[in-house]
Copies of this chain bind each other. A is one copy, B any other.
Amino acid sequence: MRSSDLPAVRALGLFRSMAEASFEDLVQAAYLQTFPAQLDLIAEGDPADFLYVVMEGCVELFAHANGRETTMAMVRPVNAFILAAVLKDAVYLMSARTAHKSRILLIPSENVREAFARDDAFARAIVVELANSYRTVVKEQKDLKLRTAVERLANRLLRYDAEQGAHGTVTLPHDKRTIASLIGMTPENLSRAFNTLKPYGVEVTGPTVTIADAAALAKLAQPNPLIDDETS
């Protein structure tokens, strides 16, 4: 792999504290590849052969059942995905495809499990990573079960605004169809949800959303740190 990428990988919480030797082993065995947009990386049900780390670009995790498809998550650099399947030596629960052209690090799962078995610091870093992932999904489940589609959208907009500096001007990080699927609705319904939010000061122009009255939007959204905060 390119040596200039090493620091970025090493800086990940997952790899930061592991022994240099273990890290070397992982990196030696890993492949760094660039994929075009819309390329299928893994399919749910496949055995977990690699741990994936998104270095550049963006990856969509999605799933199928009962003839439907839904977006489960969007993975941005620099982050790993499907760690749990790799550790359990199980099949992937989700499929993955590139959303844009992406540079991705593939670490053979056998090597990850070896490092996990040998390196105590790595094992503990994995605990932190998994605990965070777990809590993230629990929050998403609460979002899904306890909020209407409009409330979910409102909260999502407030979160994007916070992430982007709370200027009241948000750039949607993905296609609207993707965002719709991510928060559990159809593109048509997302469009209508944006209209529903217009009286609350939300204006949409292409991928740009302006929030004129964050307080009004928040009153509708009822943002909740136990659902919407990244950390905690």
**A interface list, Cβ under 8 A from B:** 44-45, 63-70, 72, 83-85, 87-88, 90-91, 93-94, 116-117, 120, 123-124, 126-128, 130-135, 137-148, 151, 184, 222, 224, 226-227, 232
Residue of B nearest to A144 (CB): B144
B116 and A124 within 8 A (CB): yes
Q: CB within 8 A of A70: which of B88, B140, B142?
A: B142
Which of A64, A141, A143 has the most chain B CB within a 10 Å cutoff? Answer: A141
A127 and B130 within 8 A (CB): yes
Chain B residues closer than 8 Å to A128, beta-carbon distance? 87-88
Cα A227 to Cα B151 in complex, Å, equals 27
Task: Determine how many copies of this chain the complex contains.
Answer: 2
Q: CB within 8 A of A84: which of B65, B94, B135?
A: B135
Interface of A is mostly: helix
25 example contacts (A-B, Cβ-Cβ < 8 A) are as follows A64-B146, A65-B227, A66-B146, A66-B147, A66-B148, A72-B138, A72-B141, A84-B130, A84-B134, A84-B135, A85-B135, A88-B128, A88-B131, A88-B132, A90-B232, A93-B138, A93-B142, A94-B138, A116-B124, A130-B130, A130-B134, A134-B137, A137-B137, A137-B141, A141-B141
Residue of B nearest to A182 (CB): B145
Q: A84-B134, A93-B135, A94-B138 are in contact. List 9 more A-B contacts (CB 8 A).
A: A63-B226, A65-B142, A65-B143, A65-B224, A68-B147, A88-B131, A88-B132, A116-B124, A140-B141
